[in-house]
Amino acid sequence: MKPTTVIGFLGSTLDAAKFGPSRWNKWRPTVSICMQEDLRVDRFVLIHGSYHRRLAEFVMQDIRDVSPETEVVPHVMDFEDAWDFEEVYGKLLDFAREFEFDPDAHDYLIHITTGTHVAQICLFLLTEARYLPGKLLQTQPHKGAPQPIGTWASIDLDLSRYDSIASRFAEASAESTSFLKSGIETRNAAFNRMIEEIEQVAVRSRAPILLMGPTGAGKSQLARKVYELKKLRHQVEGPFVEVNCATLKGDSAMSALFGHKKGAFTGAVQDRPGLLKSADKGLLFLDEIGELGLDEQAMILRAIEEGRFLPVGADSEAKSEFQLIAGTNRNLMDEVAAGNFREDLFARLNLWTFALPSLAERREDIEPNLDYELERFAEREGTRVTFNKEARERYLAFAESPSARWQGNFCDLAASVTRMATLCPTGRIDREAVDFETGRLGRLWSGDKAEVGVLTDLLRKDRVEAIDPFDRVQLEYVVDVCRRSASLSDAGRTLFAASREQRTSTNDSDRLRKYLAKFGLDWGAVTQ
């Protein structure tokens, strides 16, 4: 039998009594819980305000007297207004998130007899939503002559029996628990509806989820948000394990996914648990699952259905219980028809299938995600960059136009913002930087394979291809600035405008000359 923890408010009225022997003739709900013959309470978390500290200490001592085996843990929680739903719900939600629940090892009872009506309703909602992973506990006095013990009962959380409560606070509850949408910037109505449906599925089902959509559509981000949501609801305990199946090729795929025993093959110098084992009690995201071989698919299917699989070279099976989310940019029905994907695995994955739209299908989301990508750049690089008004409007006009193809979806958008932010020496993306970037994208989308742009006129094709993509973009920008400048000095002042203010002596011409020389170029060759 698992130990039981009760969580409840101190009743400032119901638990109060004269501090004398007569108090034992009165029913006090908090004390009565620990007097029940058929209910063992191992720990009691008593929530009370600072103002009622003396009463709390008195009640805790009475609990210790009637139930010495009960550990009483006081928790101070003060409210500006105990009848303000938003405040009460918010503080109780913070409490639930910080409390170290272990539903596998402990039973939890949430006492809703004490506290304000608002507090009781909030406890109900948080328990129904699994932020508090337990059962509701209700106590009441005996009818007739007063007795100190009273009765207790656990409450069935059938929402159909509490329609009035649920409807009264549905909107507030939705705002507090709409977790998935909080991390995904979208103004697209259809995508909003899809996110809402995924959220419902995520918290009410452990069945596999299949996310379909082009590369860069946000499958990985969405899978991680689902994990964070389930973690918050105490529905998973293990880690989030992400696997790009396109990187698993040949014999190494089996070992990476299912693990191996030492000596199973050449190079197996020690045991390897495998990614499925690593995801035990957590969430496994298999991105590009359509890239797996048929043998790996068969073992994945068994692992989903039975929670068992056989590591390479092992004599006994390993166990792992995990929630599966699969991602693919392929049409798996076509893959099944072509014999490349197992029909039984597809049938297992196809219970909850969601097709994520491409960026081109939700152009209204470009603007909010523009700010999101700038924030990501600031976190990553430690440098905050912004658009000036004209540049922002100019970029959005291009990005939201029908001619903007965005084949790489949000990956393309992120790369575009990164390039502009990186090549902006002043911390402000101006019209010039936007024109340079949109020109580059325009050439790329028009079918001009020379992503290298102006570089093809200066360097041999093999020389250009040997330059890293990042350096290539930077060099192209430098060449463009040089060609628009009157002199080497003028170009240097433009390119090094920010850093030159921090140096005691400046020689922008020499810095630019040395930079060009790294690629075998000089001012004459660039500007001719």
Same domain, 41 and 136: yes
The answer, yes or no, to whether residue 324 has pLDDT greater than 90, is yes
d(CA 359, CA 216): 9
Question: Could you tell me the pTM of the whole model?
Answer: 0.58
Same domain, 382 and 309: no
CATH number, domain of 68, equals: 3.40.50
Same domain, 343 and 424: no
The answer, yes or no, to whether residue 35 has pLDDT greater than 90, is yes
Same domain, 382 and 466: yes
The answer, yes or no, to whether residue 163 has pLDDT greater than 80, is no
Q: Binning pLDDT at 50, 70 and 90, where does residue 179 land?
A: low
Same domain, 310 and 418: no
Residue pLDDT, tens place only, 61-83: 999 999 999 999 999 999 999 99
Q: Write down which residue in 140, 173, 206 finishes a domain.
A: 173
pLDDT at 261: 84
First to last CA, the chain: 85
Of 119, 385, 132, the C-alpha closest to 234 is 132
The answer, yes or no, to whether residue 30 has pLDDT greater than 90, is yes
Same domain, 518 and 398: yes
Residue pLDDT, tens place only, 495-511: 887 776 666 556 888 88
Q: Write down which residue in 303, 335, 357 finishes a domain.
A: 357
Same domain, 468 and 457: yes
Same domain, 502 and 437: yes
Q: What is the mean pLDDT of residues 35-53?
A: 94
Same domain, 370 and 349: no
Same domain, 352 and 380: no
The answer, yes or no, to whether residue 180 has pLDDT greater than 70, is no
CATH number, domain of 194, equals: 3.40.50.300
Same domain, 200 and 325: yes
The answer, yes or no, to whether residue 175 has pLDDT greater than 50, is no
Give the side-chain half-sphere CA count within 13 A for 61.
Answer: 7
DSSP category for residue 183? G
The domain of 72 spans: 4-173
Q: Write down which residue in 335, 357, 379 finishes a domain.
A: 357
Least confident of 87-91, 202-206, 278-282: 202-206
- What's phi and psi for 440, nearest 5 deg? -60, -50
Looking at mean pLDDT, say which of 67-71, 156-160, 249-253, 316-320 comes out highest: 67-71
Residue pLDDT, tens place only, 204-240: 889 999 999 888 888 988 999 899 888 888 889 999 9
d(CA 479, CA 458): 10
The answer, yes or no, to whether residue 169 has pLDDT greater than 60, is no
Number of structural domains the chain divides into: 3
Average pLDDT, the chain: 85
Of 346, 426, 336, the C-alpha closest to 388 is 426
Same domain, 39 and 83: yes
Contact status, residue 62 vs residue 186, Cβ threshold 8 Å:
no
